[in-house]
Structures are given as C-alpha cells and as structure tokens.
Amino acid sequence: NRQIVLNSRPVGAPTPADFRLIESAIPTPATGEILLRTTYLSLDPYMRGRMSDAPSYAPPVALNDVMVGGTIARVEASNNPQFKVGDVVLSYSGWQDYAISNGEGVNVLPADMAQPSLALGVLGMPGFTAYMGLLDIGQPKAGDTVVVAAASGAVGAIVGQIAKINGCRVIGIAGGKDKCDYVTNDLGFDVCIDRKDADFAAQLAAVCPSGIDVYFESVGGAVFDAVLPLLNVGARIPVCGLIAHYNDQQLPAGPDRLGLLMGTLLKKRIKMQGFIIFDDYGHRYGEFFSAMSQWLSDGKIKFKEDLVQGLENTPEAFMGLLEGKNFGKLVVRVEQ
C-alpha cells in the first residue's frame, strides 16, 4: 500500500521535500469495516490549508499522517453490511492506494455511472461550490455582468455556465491564451481576459462598460485589485477562495488598501460574503445534484478533467495547481 504523508509543513510554496511516499502491507478490515481501493483522487486548493497549522475551519493534517483528499474507490473487502465487494464509492481516503473505513461518510455511487470521477468535480464538491456560491450569495439576475476568477478551473467553469443559464453577461479571467480560448469557445462565456497580460486591468475595464454586478472571487491579489473599482452599487461578491494568497507568509508590502476596500463596500452597499461549502450548504446537496444532473443531460454544462496518471505524481500535480498548471478539474488516476 503506497501512501503519501506530510513530511514537513510547507513554508511558502510546497516543495517535493514536504511530502514522503511510504509503502506498507495492505491493511485488513476489522468487524464493521471495509477495505477501499482508491481509483481516483481529487486534488483541490483547500489541501494547502490542511498542510499548515494556522487556525482554520478544519484541523491540519498531522506531520507523518496521510494527506487527506476526496476519492473514488472500489470496495475490495467488506465486513460492513451496508457495502458489498465491487461497490464504487465516494470516500475521503486521501493520498493512498488503500484505506480502511468504518463506512461513515462513504457514499455508494450508482452502479451505472459512466464516469465516476465526475463525483469529484462537476457533480461533486467543486460543482456544488459553484452552484451555491453563485446562486445563493451572488444572486445573479438576467442582464447582470458577472465576472468569474479562475474561469477555466473546476469551480469557475461551472460558475460562468450557470450564470449564462441565468441570462447574465459573463466575463471570465484565466491564466493564458489556451485557457481563455477554452472559456469562450467551449464554455460559452462572453469574454475571457488573460490575468497575465500587462494591461489586464485596462482590458477588464474595457469589457465591463456597465460595471460589475457579481464578482465570484476565487483568487484575490491583483485580480481583485482590478475588479474593485468596477463594482456597481449593490454588487455581490461570493468569497469562495483566495488562491493567490495561500502560500503567503505575511501580509504584502505596499500601501494599506483596507480603507479603499471598506470605503467601496460602504459607498456602493456591496455584499461580500465568504462560505465553506459543506459546512454552510451541506443540507442542499440534493437540490444541487438534481439540477446539475439535468443540465448535464441537456448538454447545458460542459466540463474538463485534467487527469494525472499515478499516485507518485500527486505532489507535483498539487504544486502545479497552486501555479495554474492544471487545465480543468485536477484528478489523479491512482489505480492504473
């Protein structure tokens, strides 16, 4: 059983030395337990937070413990009447080939699910995040201008498409021409701006002549700086993530812009609200799942998976996620 454990807490950006691959015998399930074989492992930005012992909404991974993560797995052995051998499940097995579970939090997926890894993406946590953040906090109305950060990614791609379904004008922001082309040509956003362009802020202003009504925040940093002056009176900002800051060790140098931010929120009566998807909206997962399943079968929502082969490549893939090297929902195929 190969396992990737947290070797040290990253200081700034994670490095390969922060992880260690260990091997041990495949464990045997006790009474009431099941043995799970990981087939797919989801890699998500929140994992950076679990590597740090700074206070957060969830406890950190202990040093030398297996890194956490959502997984698709197959039941290999079962001493629990709720599961039978061969069941395909959504579990939280983490960065390892095999895991033992008592079944808590493990959900059996439909046997006929053509692509089970979708339960880690468009039909799972990222899709759900997009749905609730945009619809419940963003409150988009037809004709609104909606700006979406990290627009080609697991969450952003879905946010923009749901905004289009709701009749909004949708502007994506992504890193690089390929991602921007995908966002407009394949996902159907109206425009996509490259955050790496030197005149990015001016380009964004030019494509938002009526200002911004909803800004779906996943990034922070220079992207938020460009968005702030364009926000309309009554704008809504679901604060989903701040990936540009996850490796920060201290507040950035430079002028203190807190007064500018607070003044803008005050004068323009802007609502800015953070959320943690399952803590705040877990009870509405069913509603999301049926809406998204319908959109998928109607061909209204498209998605892209970035599939990495092999558990041993997980640390590198995760490090790339924090630099924008992924293109679509990042998933590791653990069982070759």
Binding-site ranges for ligand NDP (CB under 6 A): 44-46, 125-126, 129, 150, 152-156, 174-175, 179, 195, 218-219, 221, 223, 240-241, 243-244, 275-277, 321-324, 326, 329
Alpha-carbon distance values, 166 to 97, 169, 208 (Å): 41, 9, 18
Alpha-carbon distance values, 120 to 43, 72, 73, 229, 250 (Å): 9, 8, 11, 35, 32
DSSP helix/strand/coil, 169: strand
Give the shortest CB-102-to-ligand NDP separation in angstroms: 26
Of 6 and 277, which CB lies nearer to ligand NDP in the complex structure?
277
Give the shortest CB-213-to-ligand NDP separation in angstroms: 20
Give the shortest CB-275-to-ligand NDP separation in angstroms: 5
Of 118 and 322, which CB lies nearer to ligand NDP in the complex structure?
322
Of 37 and 329, which CB lies nearer to ligand NDP in the complex structure?
329
Single-letter code of the amino acid located at 102: N
Give the shortest CB-291-to-ligand NDP separation in angstroms: 18
Of 61 and 174, which CB lies nearer to ligand NDP in the complex structure?
174
DSSP helix/strand/coil, 173: strand
**Does residue 236 contact residue 227 with C-beta atoms inside 8 Å?**
no
The region, left, alpha or beta by phi > 0 then psi within -120 to 50, assigned to residue 105 is left
Give the shortest CB-235-to-ligand NDP separation in angstroms: 19
Q: What are phi and psi of 21, to 5 degrees?
A: -95, 125
Pairing of strands 191-194, 19-23: unpaired
Give the shortest CB-77-to-ligand NDP separation in angstroms: 32
Of 60 and 79, which CB lies nearer to ligand NDP in the complex structure?
60
Of 41 and 150, which CB lies nearer to ligand NDP in the complex structure?
150
DSSP states along 35-94: EEEEEEEE--THHHHHTS-S--SSPPPPTTSBPP--EEEEEEEE-STT--TT-EEEE---
Give the shortest CB-128-to-ligand NDP separation in angstroms: 8
**Does residue 101 contact residue 36 with C-beta atoms inside 8 Å?**
yes
Of 64 and 273, which CB lies nearer to ligand NDP in the complex structure?
273
Between CA 145 and CA 208 the distance in angstroms is 7
